[in-house]
Structure 1
Amino acid sequence: MGYEWFVSQRYLRAKRKQTFISVISFISIAGVTLGVAALIVVLAVMTGFHDGVRKQILGNIPHVLVQKHGGEIAEYPEAVSRVSDSSAHVIGASPFVSKEAMLLSRGNVAAVSVKGLERGNKVFQQPFLTVRQENVEELLFTEAEGMPGIVIGLDTATTLGVAVGDPVNVIPPMFTITPFGMIPKMKPFRVVGISHHRGGFLDTFYAYVSLSEAQRFFDAEGVVSGIEVEVDSFDHANLVASELREQFAYPFVVRSWEDLFGSFLSALRLEKLGLFIVLGIIVLVAAFNIATTLIMVVMEKHKDIAVLRAMGATANSVMKIFVLEGLIIGTVGTALGTVLGLLLAKNADPIIKGLEGLFGVKIFDQSVYGMEHFPSVVNPGDVVMVTLVAMTISLLATIYPAWRAARMDPAEALRYE
């Protein structure tokens, strides 16, 4: 590296009469540190929130959905087998029957989509309120005398004023012709479970019954409304959907979860990008401080620069001195900011809870967002991107002051000395 590295370090350690320059250097480092830390923390929170919302969505809907345009799928066991064998990424395929209906109980009404599912569906992996904490699948799929079982959401149960074990009447948009005219079809079900996943905005929309009961009730014997496909990773959903479209041509419709809710998640990604740009301005402001520091050093050290040039130092060497000085400031600030940002991002949940207990305020309401912990997921790619952006801005901030120092005329600088 030569003498340039030694000189750049000496210029950072100002003498007593140059203490102000040293203070400006410290402020520059602090600015880069805070900017990098803020970027890492905000990107981690946005990534965690994005993943949390995605998990809520995928807890109720399949990764890939296969349906038939304008009708039901007949001979569905064969279709399920074709879907299961379509790709190595497919880990499960199950048929379902779905129809909108009204739930009526105690004079209260709620609109839901009644969905008939097979045993083992991923929907039943979420927590449910049941009698004596019994398994909701056993209660729903066990054939017994009396009313069949139904599982509803907590908001739906609140609207209807029912609890586990209470009956509800299910009224689909189907009618029975009698001598007295058309009478809406209606059947009583017993609530065997209530989903209580906090913040699950799809829980309110669905009510679940067994597939066989749904087929009988909705006059759909031997047919299903569609096939739900589960893949080994939600990132493979689009790939599997593309492969299924080649096998299931029109009138079949194949949609991935991104086709159904992609616009909502795209809005979250756009918000993340916007926050990155806004907070990146903090690093940009810190870069102006770096440029200011170097300009002041150049003004203070003009005699030193002239002496170096007179002793044979090239313009490139002088420029390298000030570029290295700016890079030292940027590197130290970026390193400290990365460490601080990672510490805050990794411990975001206990920090938030500590602040809530200290000030007695509710910063993160779990019931609103439906997440057990404050969302914060550190993505290594985001950390690398923030580091590269901070270092690039710091490097660009050194160019003009270093260029001005390299162009300084030694004779002119020492004329009046």
Structure 2
Amino acid sequence: MSYELFVSLRYLRAKRKQTFISVISFISIGGVTLGVAALIVVLAVMTGFHDGVRQQILGNLPNILVQKYGEPLSEYTDIAERIEKTPGVSAVTPFIAREAMLLSGGNVAAVQVKGVESGNKAFDQDALTVGGQDLETLLFEAPDTKPGIVISLDSATTLGVAVGDTINVIPPMFTLTPFGMVPKMKPFQVVGIIRQQGSLVDTYYAYIGLATAQKFFELEEQVTGIEVDVANFDHTAQVVSTLRDEFAFPFTVRSWQDMFGSFLSALKLEKLGLFIVLGIIVLVAAFNIATTLIMVVMEKHKDIAILRSMGATSRSIMKIFVFEGAIIGTLGTSLGTGLGLLIAVNADPIIKKIESLFGLKIFDQTVYGMDTFPSVVNTGDVVSVVIVAMAISLLATIYPAWHASRMDPAEALRYE
């Protein structure tokens, strides 16, 4: 151990006449600890919300959407086969989507009726079904007299229906009769209700079979578009670029970033803003470190003069106080990192414990559509916080250490 580090550690120990300075040192360590912990927890929560929202968006929606300007796709089978050959594509699914009104007992709900094939990822969700039977069996093997439909829990609540009930689906299509324009209407049986409530997107969809949708919306041998899923979200842009080269105008190829990217970008911007705001806490703690070192320099001016007279260089004196500030910053950052990770990893049980103790509702699952309080620790975020905290702590030591190294021994001992 170098003597500079040894002297730094001695200066941090409390003596009777230096207790106040030691208390300030502990306050500085506490400030850095709280600042680092707050940064880690907030960034983890923001990352969790970002991932949760993205999962809601991509839960039942395609990664890529292939459509045609102003008209449906006619030869969709051939188009789907061409898309399947594209590298990075994991699934290709044709679909029909039309806005419609659901009517039951005077209650109305606006939805987008989506005709899909068996095996669609929308049916992977937990759902209430008639008699607890398989959802796809009820939907795709229903009697021709009354086709089945799957609606969200929010739509079922609005309509006041349960599984097995009948609802009328009214698309924006009219039939010309001697009495004027009469809207088209068809009864469907509710064979399934998706349990998930509060999802950002899924609540507006109702699902029927693709063949049923083609007949109902008068799109024989046609589809609205083709959904494309990729093996890796991060490769979406590359797959989109390849598909756009192959399917030029009048085709349109849109990724989930094109459709919902602005919303996710807003979440990223908010995360950056919180990082900057909470970083000020660490900056305030750094001012405490600087104040502590300045007070130590004023208190130890005789020690500094003696060390200089014994041959200590200005560089050594500067290293003593840099080490002292670095020790405070390291202790605060280490404790803050441990505390932040402990809270971030156990955020959901902590929130639930607080809710049960005080009878509060901090996190409403029905509003956010998430089963647990979102908190995802990102290694890059933690490393960034540690680097920023240590950098600020070390920068705070520069002026006090430089001032101590410039002290004249003769001037310091003149009145002693």
Q: Please report the TM-score for the alignment, with normalisation by the length of structure 2.
A: 0.97
In 2, the alpha carbon distance for the partners of 1:252 and 1:379 equals 38
Asked if 1:170 corresponds to 2:173, the answer is no
Aligned to 2:33: 33
In 2, the alpha carbon distance for the partners of 1:80 and 1:96 equals 11
In 1, the alpha carbon distance for the partners of 2:132 and 2:169 equals 25
Aligned to 1:380: 379
Letter in 1 for 2:14: A
SS at match of 1:208: strand
Q: How much does 1:275 deviate? A: 1.2
SS at match of 2:189: strand
Aligned to 2:135: 136
CA contact (8 A) 1:5 1:321 kept: yes
In 2, the alpha carbon distance for the partners of 1:86 and 1:244 equals 8
CA contact (8 A) 1:48 1:375 kept: yes
Aligned to 2:315: 316
Letter in 1 for 2:17: K
Aligned to 2:204: 205
Aligned to 2:341: 342
Letter in 2 for 1:3: Y
SS at match of 1:92: strand
Gaps of 5+ in 1: none
Letter in 2 for 1:133: G
Gaps of 5+ in 2: none
Aligned to 1:56: 56
In 2, the alpha carbon distance for the partners of 1:156 and 1:361 equals 28
Letter in 1 for 2:9: Q
Letter in 1 for 2:156: A
Letter in 2 for 1:122: K
Aligned to 2:238: 239
Asked if 1:328 corresponds to 2:327, the answer is yes
SS at match of 1:204: helix
Asked if 1:272 corresponds to 2:285, the answer is no
Aligned to 1:215: 214
Aligned to 1:70: 70
CA contact (8 A) 2:112 2:205 kept: yes
Aligned to 2:153: 154
CA contact (8 A) 1:195 1:203 kept: no
Letter in 2 for 1:416: Y
Check 1:267–1:137 CA distance in 2 against 1; reply closer, same or farther (3 A cut): same
Q: How much does 1:5 deviate? A: 1.2
CA contact (8 A) 1:68 1:252 kept: yes
In 2, the alpha carbon distance for the partners of 1:259 and 1:303 equals 67
Aligned to 2:355: 356
In 2, the alpha carbon distance for the partners of 1:395 and 1:305 equals 21
Aligned to 1:4: 4
Pairing 1:69-108 to 2, within 5 Å after superposition: 69-87=69-87, 89-108=88-107
Letter in 1 for 2:276: I
Bigger shift: residues 21-30 or 198-207: 198-207
Q: How much does 1:202 deviate? A: 1.9
In 2, the alpha carbon distance for the partners of 1:204 and 1:7 equals 66
Q: How much does 1:184 deviate? A: 1.9
In 2, the alpha carbon distance for the partners of 1:248 and 1:10 equals 73
Aligned to 1:14: 14
Aligned to 2:193: 194
Percent of paired sites with the same residue: 72
Cα displacement string for residues 293-352 of structure 1 (whole angstroms, at most 9, x for unaligned residues):
100010011111111111221111111111111000000110011011111111111111
In 1, the alpha carbon distance for the partners of 2:341 and 2:285 equals 20
Letter in 1 for 2:402: W
SS at match of 2:139: helix
SS at match of 1:199: coil
Bigger shift: residues 298-307 or 11-20: 11-20
SS at match of 2:48: helix
In 2, the alpha carbon distance for the partners of 1:23 and 1:109 equals 67
Cα displacement string for residues 10-53 of structure 1 (whole angstroms, at most 9, x for unaligned residues):
11113221111111111111111111111111111111111111
Aligned to 2:409: 410
Bigger shift: residues 314-323 or 157-166: 157-166
In 2, the alpha carbon distance for the partners of 1:200 and 1:40 equals 27
Letter in 2 for 1:84: E
Cα displacement string for residues 213-242 of structure 1 (whole angstroms, at most 9, x for unaligned residues):
101111111111111111122222222212
Bigger shift: residues 301-310 or 325-334: 301-310
Letter in 2 for 1:40: I
Bigger shift: residues 387-396 or 222-231: 222-231
Pairing 1:282-301 to 2, within 5 Å after superposition: 282-301=281-300
In 2, the alpha carbon distance for the partners of 1:172 and 1:358 equals 50
CA contact (8 A) 2:152 2:197 kept: no
Pairing 1:174-185 to 2, within 5 Å after superposition: 174-185=173-184
Letter in 2 for 1:364: F
In 1, the alpha carbon distance for the partners of 2:4 and 2:220 equals 84
Q: How much does 1:264 deviate? A: 1.1
In 1, the alpha carbon distance for the partners of 2:32 and 2:180 equals 77
Letter in 2 for 1:52: G
Cα displacement string for residues 75-128 of structure 1 (whole angstroms, at most 9, x for unaligned residues):
1111111111112x2110100011111222212222211110011111111111
SS at match of 1:378: coil
What is the root-mean-square deviation in Å for CA atoms of aligned residues?
A: 1.3
Q: How much does 1:143 deviate? A: 4.3
